[in-house]
Amino acid sequence: MSDAAAKPGRDEDAGKAARIGINAPIRAHELNLGFKYEISAMHDGEKLKQCFQCGTCTSDCPIARFSDTYRPRMIIRMAQLGLRDRVLSSDTLWLCAACFTCTDRCPQDVEVASVIRILRNFAVREGFMPLIFRELGSNILRIGVAYEIPELRLKKREIVGLPPLPKSDLNDMLKLANATGFSKTLKETERK
Amino acid sequence: MIKSGQSANKEFLLFLGCAIPYRVSSYEISTRKVLAKLGVKLVEMPDYNCCGLPIDPVNHEMMLSLAARNLCVAEQKKLDIVALCPGCAGTLRKVNKKLKESKELREKVNGYLKEINMEFHGTVEAKHLLQLLVEDVGLEKIRDAVTKPLTKLQVADHAGCHVSRPSKQVSFDNSEDPEVLKNLIEATGAKHVDYKDKLSCCGAPIAGVNDKIPLQLAREKLSSMRNAGAQILVTVCPFCHMMFDTNQLRIERMFTETFKIPVLHYPQLLGLALGFSSSDLALRDLRVDPSGIISPYAMEGS
């Protein structure tokens, strides 16, 4: 798979925006002036407006070194400008490894990796989510953890004398998922 | 500031997460052996769920709730948590700190937890294995316990990002100049080897959406370690371990290069110095065979 990781969105236009690419000329009608406030209102997104585009995040980003498209500075700028559809439908949004180097080194205290997490949460609501996350998410509801441990592994635990794995309370998982809107998100992305 | 050996013989709830029982049991096996020898008692979690980290990109509030639920279980048991996976440890530490500090966030998350008759109080701590080793056992006690010093063995370290980043929220070690794993390696008598770009991510977190970048990253790091003269790499993260051990052969084939750098979990390295045998430490589970390099130090299976 290339950088084209995120799945197509719910409408053709958004998909088209993704294909236009992040380097295409910006059109005035694309700018959503309230977007930066929407992000700043979220937990850990408060300092988005402080970014002055120094580029420390991109120059220190281990992924940016090997990706032709992933540039955290550009994502932050798109968020500030309000290029909402373009940034939310962008495949590159899903390349952040959440190593937090950018967050640690930002001279303006912008929580870069957390802003990217906020953008991803928004993108999911718009129907953009790489397949892997649906898998991990539904595993949590089905078994309580993100990766299903194969039966063979569980038997091997017994053989080598490891204690049985603690169980998960699946009722609790469902209740938390319903309360936080996680169930709804999973259900909606399923239809996409 | 790293406190040392303040509360030896403490009990901890063991938080295994999913990646370790799924792919790297040798990390769990060796940890249990080593901690028992050092007088740390591990108590199994009565029940547990995902730490929350994997679905943070999907729904932040679900992540907070999942992490908080684990912390609530520990609060009920009145025990601190030790996690072997830095992703789990970092998430639990971060959420614990945020919920303790922010009344607003705490009330919000407690609103979700109310649905399952739980409430976060903020009465326990969560730690990564490295933190337990330096704070609750202490370097001195570890040095004293070493019976077979790994003299002359050249060991590179790769702690994993979430052991100390984001530094303001995880508050452990120095994320720009880490010393904990280095000191722990030296405590075994081995020689610690530094290498270029040691602090950068192994790439594993994006392996699910991109299959090239993580391998390029891991390959570059393996080259730097080899160039620095490392005979062995030590990790304390199941994902870093999978990148460097499980994928090493694949990387060698893909880039037509040879590394042959065995990747040990730190407790396996320490275990050798404490006199455990290869089979005690599940060294056979490693993909890159370490037996040639460690044969001067390891007892054969018992």
pLDDT tens digits, residue range B52-82? Answer: 999 999 999 999 999 999 999 999 999 999 9
Backbone angles phi, psi at B13, to 5 degrees: -80, 130
User: How is residue B180 written in tokens?
Assistant: 């904990």
Is residue B48 included in any domain, yes or no?
A: yes
pLDDT (0 to 100) of residue B9: 56
Which of A6, A117, A144 is nearest residue B60 as measured by Cβ atoms? A117
Mean pLDDT, rounded, for B97-121 = 98
In this complex, do B47 and A167 lie within 8 Å of one another by their Cβ atoms? yes
Q: What is the CATH number of the domain that holds B40?
A: 1.20.1050.140
- Residues on chain A touching B59 (C-beta within 8 angstroms): 121, 124, 180-182, 185
Question: Do B196 and B105 belong together in one domain?
Answer: no
User: How is residue A49 written in tokens?
Assistant: 């407006």
What is the pLDDT confidence band of residue B134, given thresholds at 50, 70 and 90?
very high
* Residue B116 near residue B65, CB atoms below 8 Å: no
Name B244's Cβ contacts closer than 8 Å, sequence gap at least 6: B158, B202, B218, B221, B222, B233, B235, B261, B263
Domain that holds residue B155: 139-294
Question: Do B144 and B57 belong together in one domain?
Answer: no
**A:B CB pairs within 8 Å:** 187
Question: Do B149 and B290 belong together in one domain?
Answer: yes
pLDDT (0 to 100) of residue A22: 66
ipTM associated with this complex? 0.94
- Residues on chain B touching A172 (C-beta within 8 angstroms): 49, 69, 116
Per-residue pLDDT of chain A (192 residues), as tens digits, is: 344 444 433 344 444 444 456 678 888 899 999 999 999 999 999 999 999 999 999 999 999 999 999 999 999 999 999 999 999 999 999 999 999 999 999 999 999 999 999 999 999 999 999 999 999 999 999 999 999 999 999 999 999 999 999 999 999 999 999 999 999 999 888 765
Domain count across chain B: 2
Give the end of a domain, one of B98, B129, B160. B129
* Residue B73 near residue B43, CB atoms below 8 Å: no
Which of B59, B197, B217 is nearest residue A182 as measured by Cβ atoms? B59
In this complex, do B49 and A63 lie within 8 Å of one another by their Cβ atoms? no
Cα distances (angstroms) measured from residue B201 to each of A49, A100, B16, B219: 27, 9, 22, 12
| Range in A135-144, A152-161, B268-277, B293-302 with the lowest mean pLDDT | B293-302
CA distance A130 to chain B (A): 7
Return the residue matching tokens 């979990």.
B265
Question: Do B67 and B150 belong together in one domain?
Answer: no
pLDDT tens digits, residue range B195-222? Answer: 999 999 999 999 999 989 999 999 999 9
State the amino acid at position B80 in one-letter form.
D
Cα distances (angstroms) measured from residue B249 to each of A119, B286, B301: 36, 12, 25
Residues of chain B with pLDDT > 70, as a percent, come to 96
- Residues on chain A touching B176 (C-beta within 8 angstroms): 104
Which of A104, A169, A181 is nearest residue B165 as measured by Cβ atoms? A104
- Residues on chain B touching A132 (C-beta within 8 angstroms): 208-209
Is residue B226 included in any domain, yes or no?
A: yes
pLDDT (0 to 100) of residue B10: 85
**Does the pLDDT at position B300 exceed 70?**
no
Q: Is the Cβ of B85 closer than 8 Å to some Cβ of chain A? A: no
Mean pLDDT, rounded, for B103-112 = 98
In this complex, do A113 and B166 lie within 8 Å of one another by their Cβ atoms? yes
Is residue B235 included in any domain, yes or no?
A: yes
Residue of A nearest to B58 (CA): A121
Is residue B5 included in any domain, yes or no?
A: no
A12-125 CATH:
1.10.1060.10
Question: Do B150 and B233 belong together in one domain?
Answer: yes
Q: Is the Cβ of B206 closer than 8 Å to some Cβ of chain A? A: yes
Question: Do B123 and B221 belong together in one domain?
Answer: no
What is the pLDDT confidence band of residue B182, given thresholds at 50, 70 and 90?
very high
**Does the pLDDT at position B2 exceed 90?**
no
Strands of the sheet with B11-15, listed across from one edge: B41-44, B11-15, B80-83, B126-128
Is residue B19 included in any domain, yes or no?
A: yes
pLDDT (0 to 100) of residue A189: 80
Q: Is the Cβ of B129 closer than 8 Å to some Cβ of chain A? A: no
* Cα B199 from Cα B215, distance rounded (Å): 16
